[in-house]
Amino acid sequence: MDALEDPVLAQPVGLCCLKGSIHSGEPAGKIVQIGGVDTYVATPDKTTSNGHVLLFFPDAFGLHINNFLTMDAFAACGYLTLGVDYFAGSWKNKHMSSTDRVAAKWARDVEAEYGPNGEVKFVCAGHCWGARFVCGQLSKDGFCKAGAIAHPSFMNESHVIGIDAPILFSVPVTDSLFMPEQRRRAVEIMTEGKKKYNMQIFSNVAHGFASRAFLSDPYEKWAKEQSFKSFVQWFDFWLSVS
């Protein structure tokens, strides 16, 4: 499908994807190799584990402190959380062409390693760069029961058309990469396709708020935390009825 047949909904990564606050904290997880790809693994406590696995597709910062802490937070909510380093330690100029291939293979390797008996349920989350990979895992060819994305980039209509499992969007009211007209078109596609979806829209935050909010700003901190809570509640609900 060429560009004329597959209009862009969320624009490619721009400078806004590199702005925001660097958070502080000590990551609790570890990096292992899955299918030859560095993978951050955040493991829930045995008393809180729900037995499910969350695939995390990070923003343009890749495996970075902010994303480590987010994955640790998902683990604290009971999910064994796995994050992929599709940039191989670098950023888009070097690895743009390979991230789709790496992400797809990595997801299959994760499924083979963590869910071979079919008892484990999978969900997926993605910020910015990771949004389209979440869409892919929610297609008929994917294996995730539900997904959630925040401030997407590099997302075309075909990514949304192909969604076949519940999806949550968490977005700013004004985002230069996902403008209101494209947001309305995404809603139109999902509504016409009778897809299970929800979209939460936050005012007074920018692209990247869910991963790089300025925590010194009370409202930005609240919006980031609310977005995260919505992801977890979305996953918990759909897994409870699947």
pLDDT (0 to 100) of residue 119:
82
Question: What does the pLDDT look like over 190-232, one tens digit per residue?
Answer: 999 999 999 999 999 999 999 989 999 999 999 999 999 999 9
Domains: count for the chain? 1
Q: Which residues of 50-65 are buried (b: 16+ CB within 10 A; e: fewer)?
A: bebbbbbbbbbbbbbe
**Token pair 């970075």 is at which residue?**
64
**Per the domain annotation, does 1 fall within a domain?**
no
Q: What are the residue ranges in the chain where pLDDT is below 50?
A: 1-2, 14-18, 20
**Per the domain annotation, does 2 fall within a domain?**
no
Which candidate, 60, 67, 65, places its Cα nearest to that of 13?
60
Which candidate, 133, 128, 200, places its Cα nearest to that of 162?
133
- Looking at the whole model, is its pTM more than 0.85? yes
- Which residues constitute the domain of residue 179? 11-241
Which backbone phi and psi does 103 adopt, to 5 degrees?
-65, -45
Name the residues annotated as catalytic: 128, 175, 207
pLDDT (0 to 100) of residue 87:
83
**Per the domain annotation, does 6 fall within a domain?**
no
CATH number at residue 18: 3.40.50.1820
pLDDT (0 to 100) of residue 15:
46
